[in-house]
Amino acid sequence: MSWSERIILSRGLDAIRDSRIASPLKMVFGTLPAHVRHQRFAVGAFPRRLRAWRERNNLSQSEAALKLQISKRTLQEWEQGRAAPRGFARTAIEKAIRA
* pTM, two decimal places: 0.56
For residue 56, the model assigns a pLDDT of 94
Higher pLDDT: 34 or 75? It is 75
Higher pLDDT: 77 or 17? It is 77
80 neighbors 87 (Cβ within 8 angstroms) = no
Task: Tell me the pLDDT tens digit for each residue of 22-31.
Answer: 444 554 555 6
89 neighbors 19 (Cβ within 8 angstroms) = yes
For residue 70, the model assigns a pLDDT of 92
